[in-house]
Chain A
Amino acid sequence: MTELVWITLALPLLGVALLAIFGNKLPARGAGLLASLIMLAAFGAATVALILLASKPEDQRQVTETAWTWLSAGDFRVGFDIWFDQLTALMLMVVTGVGFLIHIFSIGYMKGDTQERRFFAYMNMFVFSMLVLVVSGNLVQLLIGWGLVGLSSYLLIGFWHHKTSAVKAAKKAFIMNAIGDVGLAIGIFLLFVDLGTVSYSGVFASADKLSETQASIACLLLLVGALAKSAQIPLHTWLPDAMEGPTPVSALIHAATMVTAGVYLIARMNPLFFYAPKVLDLIVIIGVVGLLMAGAIAIVQTDIKRIIAFSTMSQIAYMFVGVGLSAYWAGIFHLFTHAFFKALLFMGAGLVIHALNGEQDTRNMGGMRKLMPKTYFCFIIGGLALTGIFPFSGGFSKDAILGAALHVDSTIGWIAYVGGLLGALMTGIYTFRLIFLVFHRRMSPYAEKVAPPLIKHHGEGPSSMLWPVYILALGAAFLGLLQIPGVTHVMSSWLEPISPYGMVEATASQEWLTTLIGTLVGVIGIIVAAHLYLRENDAPERIRLGRGRLIAHALERRCYWDNLYEWMFERPVQWAASFLNRDVDATAFRWLPTDGVGTITAFFGRSVVVLQNGIVRSYALVFAVGIAGFLLFLLVRGT
């Protein structure tokens, strides 16, 4: 069984190596096929590993193995490990399964790009990095995966590196994630100093030795890493800009897998977070604020991918609420369904963008439903799942989180419950605003000019792009049935053992009540969106320029976070660096000891000229005279 996990891990790395070394000899299409086949094989291996794990008795479903000692210094030793349990197995399925579909989709999407091989090499590298992260059995290897997914994300956001905006976005993502990496690293230092170990098993076994303050600080530092990677307040500003990358990248990295790593981290480290209840409360608060803010911002965006990006941020905030409430299984369940419906929406958006020759502005779309009925149908399924309408998958998973909030029945729980329902309202509005703007209304002049000839020529897209969308649509529609309150409980019982201190799970009646309210709220959101956006009318514009202008201004500028960071960090750092470079370093350390001394001595008698003539010779002379004098001195003294 563990061999299969190693194989799953090794396959994408093999893909990178093959594409890097033999890429030039492959035909352009071959690269995509090779990378996809590798992903299919990895998915197969991961599936068999999952089945083998499931066939074991429940108390043996956790296996660890060390391949080699990675780093050592005294009593500090870190291995290259795998830790295979229920959570790892599930994450492997998401990463390789959804990853495989997105690779297939990319074959069509990237067709004609001159850099296909590089693209697929990066994609395989991303998958490898993500697998390193999820199979790790210690915190240092987790950090390695953490950093490598950041690197792959940087490479893929900046894939079209001739675009200044793409390069800028890639750098921004990397640096914000570096801040998260540093937080995570300091957390690891702290745990090592306090507990003398960085392996999961060691930390979990001795976590009870930490005082609440120690545990809270450690968890806060881990949380910094989680916030950066999962684009949560206050380290979220990189995610919308990351949409500069090709759309399959947005689907795979910035929706389905990498950005949910923060949720994974908290769920994985739950035996530690158990000792930091205040941090868990903080996670819920950050989640609630984040889901409301991102949902509100999504309502006013005009770029199709940015709308979905803010939606992703909002949905991950739901997952944070889930894990913060100790309903780890619900958070992971939402991660699971979200991977399907969000990848679906991104790929649907990719089909639209493809049909419009790269256009991403919703104002240049409209009326696409007649031209792209299949895409429209799948997009509606994704939209209903996202809004959380019963019985689509997102509804079950989101209501599992909100049901848990109801079940907790504390102030925090009620904040989460009310905030989450308000968020569901916004989700309904922004999701269906997007659908109406893109697929309904009158076709924009741009779309009218560009889309019909393209679609007449290619159809809605090649089958390599359509089939993955269909499969994801199936998942988005039906995966919720894994966990029907009171009927099935695949998710909750599968994940239950990962938390030794138990998980929060709502009763069936609490969940059904939440489902009822949640669906109702979602439908209200859809109705509001229909009222405002289904037909051309000036109501949204009137609100924007009228009573709502202050709020609209704030939301359109993403609540001013970027401006804040520019004035707080970017400019001061640049200013300080320039000042130190130009005015301090050059004067005090480079001018003064030589030219400065020269100028001063010249003032007295130009003695420096002597030194400048054949300076090396004179140095060698000084050296030789030094040695000679030294020897002479010794000889004299020796006698």
Chain B
Amino acid sequence: MITISTLIAVPAIAAVVLLVVPFARQAAGYLALLVSLAVLGAVIGFIYRFEPVAGYQFADNVSWIEPLGVRWHVAVNGVSLAMIAVTALITTCALGFALWAKRDRSHASAALILMTEAFLFLVFAARDLFAFYVGFEGMLIPLLVLLVVWGGPGRKFATLQVIAYTAFGTLLMLLGILYLGLTAPDGPNFDMAAAIGRGGDWVFFAFAIAFAIKSPLFPLHGWVLPAYRESSPEVAAVLSGVASKAGAFAFLAVLVPLFPAQAAKYAWVFITLGTIGFLWGSLLAFRQRDGRGVVAYSSIAQMSFIVLGIFLLSDRGATGATFQMVNHALISAALFFVVGWLETQVGSGSFSQLGGLARRRPVLATVSIILGMAALAVPGSSVFASEFLIMLGAFEYHWWLGAIVSLGVILAAMYMLRWISAILHDRESGLAGTLNPPDLKQGALLAILPLVLVLIGLSIAPAQLTDRVDASANALFSAAAKEAGR
């Protein structure tokens, strides 16, 4: 039987092998894709074996660094399994897209993507704070290398920007973890279960700031635009699709259960910031001049909205936020593939160089419209289902909160329709007119199609997901909700 530890180890080992063994260029890419497919298959196996109950399952708990009380403790519940599943899917698609795009030094780029996957799995499965720290910080290293080596012309500045933000958060969280681990009653103990309720306000905020930067939560979103704009599309897909989820996930699965009193006490801070960020990102997405800008600011909006959902400390909020994390991961990754494909075909992602591409390109048009409509949460889509839950939760919290966040839906319609039109509508103009790009097909399409199909599947029966995560999500916030008197 495959364990969670194997799941983490396989991509990590494959990454090392790819870096060390001198494979032929294409062979390395295919091998990485094969590994990620195998991992995806194993994850699907876990979904089948998963029982939709509150507790953590498939636990591996062995001593890791004995004298320090650090243990290799990994396990999953419904929420983390959902994140692991979407990570496995997006990694596969990203490797597929990289293969299509024929990156130079492809063995290294594929290895780094696999390494990111392994670290992300660790983030989602870790039940030990030290292991969590390794995953949370470790995943940035391959991502930063991917950004600075394979990125666009402004990659150095973007990398600096990311580091400036995250190094700050990292330091704070490290101090927090140290404090929690060392003040354990019976010697050093980094197990999460042992840390519940022991931290004070400053530890809470040390964690919260690190998570808020990674999510990103307004106003700590400054690194997002340069990072998403300069990364290669597959890296941007991983960054916005799943790396950002590490932050939001940590809010729900680490911060809220470990600090129930503070989560209840300061929930209003995050609800306020989440609301502002949701509207802020949506408004700014409406003024961007290229596809990446739109996806970047819509991501800021969506992630802020997810954090808001988490701090409602309610059934609708937590389940909706988990579901929305999955949806946003799928959509932002797929959007970056479409945007990246356009850039390779047209040579520019600027709206002034695009337009009129719906003519004679039915596949591109269909995919763009499906993604755009999903992103603006057209009723009936899976995003509608998750946003509906969060907004219902917001409304249950306070009617005016529900009313304010509902405005974000109208803004989302405005910026996504603008994006669709900029690519597809009017006459072919700018470079798109002179270069006459072909329709979306084969390689790039194969990377996008799985994401679109999963989105459609989740639109037909979203309860398939919510039924599986509901109990787990409930268990995560129930202590905090009790503290809040709800």
Q: Which residues of B contact A627 (CB under 8 A)?
A: 134
Closest Cβ–Cβ distance, residue A539 to chain B (whole Å): 42
Chain B 392-412 against A: per-residue CB contact (8 Å), 1 yes, 0 no?
A: 100110010011001101100
- In the complex, identify which listed stretch (A398-406, A525-533, A618-626) lies at the interface while the others stay far away: A618-626
B222 touches A71 (CB 8 A): no
Closest Cβ–Cβ distance, residue B313 to chain A (whole Å): 13
Closest Cβ–Cβ distance, residue A439 to chain B (whole Å): 36
Q: Which residues of B contact A148 (CB under 8 A)?
A: 378-380
Closest Cβ–Cβ distance, residue A262 to chain B (whole Å): 16
**Measured CA separation A148–B369 after assembly (Å):** 13
Q: Which residues of B contact A76 (CB under 8 A)?
A: 315-316, 389, 392
Q: Which of B366, B406, B466 contacts A72 (CB 8 A)?
A: B466
Q: Which residues of B contact A623 (CB under 8 A)?
A: 137-138, 140-141, 170
Chain B 151-174 against A: per-residue CB contact (8 Å), 1 yes, 0 no?
A: 000001101110111010011001
Given contacts A616-B141, A616-B144, contact A626 B410 (CB under 8 A): no
Within 129-175 of A, Cβ neighbours of B (below 8 Å) are at: 132, 140, 143-148, 150-151, 154-155, 158, 161-162, 164, 167, 171, 174-175
Closest Cβ–Cβ distance, residue A429 to chain B (whole Å): 37
**Measured CA separation A576–B395 after assembly (Å):** 26
A74 touches B222 (CB 8 A): no
Q: Assess whether A20 is interfacial by the CB under 8 Å rule.
A: yes
B286 touches A577 (CB 8 A): yes
Given contacts A162-B425, A593-B164, contact A71 B379 (CB under 8 A): no
Q: Assess whether A633 is interfacial by the CB under 8 Å rule.
A: yes
B67 touches A590 (CB 8 A): no
Q: Which residues of A contact B379 (CB under 8 A)?
A: 143-148, 150, 181
**Measured CA separation A75–B474 after assembly (Å):** 12
Closest Cβ–Cβ distance, residue B25 to chain A (whole Å): 23
Q: Assess whether A193 is interfacial by the CB under 8 Å rule.
A: yes
Q: Assess whether A7 is interfacial by the CB under 8 Å rule.
A: no
Q: Assess whether B388 is interfacial by the CB under 8 Å rule.
A: yes
**Measured CA separation A597–B222 after assembly (Å):** 13
A619 touches B163 (CB 8 A): yes
A580 touches B280 (CB 8 A): yes
Q: Which residues of A contact B402 (CB under 8 A)?
A: 186, 189
Closest Cβ–Cβ distance, residue B134 to chain A (whole Å): 8
Q: Assess whether A73 is interfacial by the CB under 8 Å rule.
A: yes
- In the complex, identify which listed stretch (A464-472, A514-522, A581-589) lies at the interface while the others stay far away: A581-589
Q: Which of B226, B376, B391, B409 contacts A590 (CB 8 A)?
A: B226
Given contacts A68-B461, A593-B161, A597-B164, contact A638 B67 (CB under 8 A): yes
Majority secondary structure, B binding face: helix
Q: Assess whether A537 is interfacial by the CB under 8 Å rule.
A: no
Given contacts A70-B462, A147-B379, A594-B164, contact A179 B188 (CB under 8 A): no
B178 touches A190 (CB 8 A): no
Q: Which residues of B contact A585 (CB under 8 A)?
A: 280, 284
Max chain B Cβ within 10 angstroms of own Cβ: one of A179, A576, A592, A623: A623
Q: Assess whether A51 is interfacial by the CB under 8 Å rule.
A: no
Q: Which of A155, A186, A589, A616 contacts B148 (CB 8 A)?
A: A616
Q: Assess whether B446 is interfacial by the CB under 8 Å rule.
A: no
**Measured CA separation A594–B388 after assembly (Å):** 37
A68 touches B188 (CB 8 A): no
**Measured CA separation A186–B414 after assembly (Å):** 19
Q: Which of B174, B356, B407 contacts A626 (CB 8 A)?
A: B174
Chain B 130-146 against A: per-residue CB contact (8 Å), 1 yes, 0 no?
A: 00001001101100110
Q: Assess whether B201 is interfacial by the CB under 8 Å rule.
A: no
Given contacts A68-B461, A69-B463, A167-B421, contact A174 B145 (CB under 8 A): no
Q: A73-B470, A148-B379, A616-B144 are in contact. List 9 more A-B contacts (CB 8 A).
A: A70-B385, A72-B467, A144-B379, A146-B379, A181-B409, A182-B407, A186-B406, A623-B137, A638-B67
- In the A-B complex, the 4 residue pairs with the smallest Cβ-Cβ separation, listed nearest first, are A147-B379, A74-B315, A589-B222, A189-B395
A-B contact pairs, 8 of them (CB 8 A): A71-B388, A148-B378, A162-B426, A178-B376, A193-B399, A615-B148, A623-B141, A638-B68
